[in-house]
Amino acid sequence: MLNRTDGHFSGLAELVYGSDGDFSIIKPGAYVLCAETGKQIQLHHLTYWSEELQEAYIDAEAAFTRWKTVQNTK
């Protein structure tokens, strides 16, 4: 796994989101996109994601909104 704080990458990264606050970088980049808002999340600010859905979220509110949407479609 690459260091989360490496700042020399640019563009969209591809990650595999794991449990225990860990993710693996598949394609290096500077950011990922929030699945709820579409906003860019710099990797060093990435805190919220779903291991189950393999999605990133910009903040807790976006994560909760997405969770509610997924629950309503089950």
Read off the pLDDT of residues 11-68 as tens digits, 9 standing for 90 and up.
999 999 999 889 999 999 999 999 999 999 999 999 999 999 999 999 999 999 999 9
Q: What is the pLDDT of residue 20?
A: 87
| Degrees to nearest 5, angle at CA 69 with 51 and 60 | 60
Q: What is the pLDDT of residue 7?
A: 57
Q: Is 55 left (phi over 0), alpha (psi -120 to 50) or beta?
A: beta
Q: What is the pLDDT of residue 1?
A: 43
Between the alpha carbon of residue 20 and those of residues 5, 8, 42, the distances in Å are 18, 26, 19
pTM: 0.85
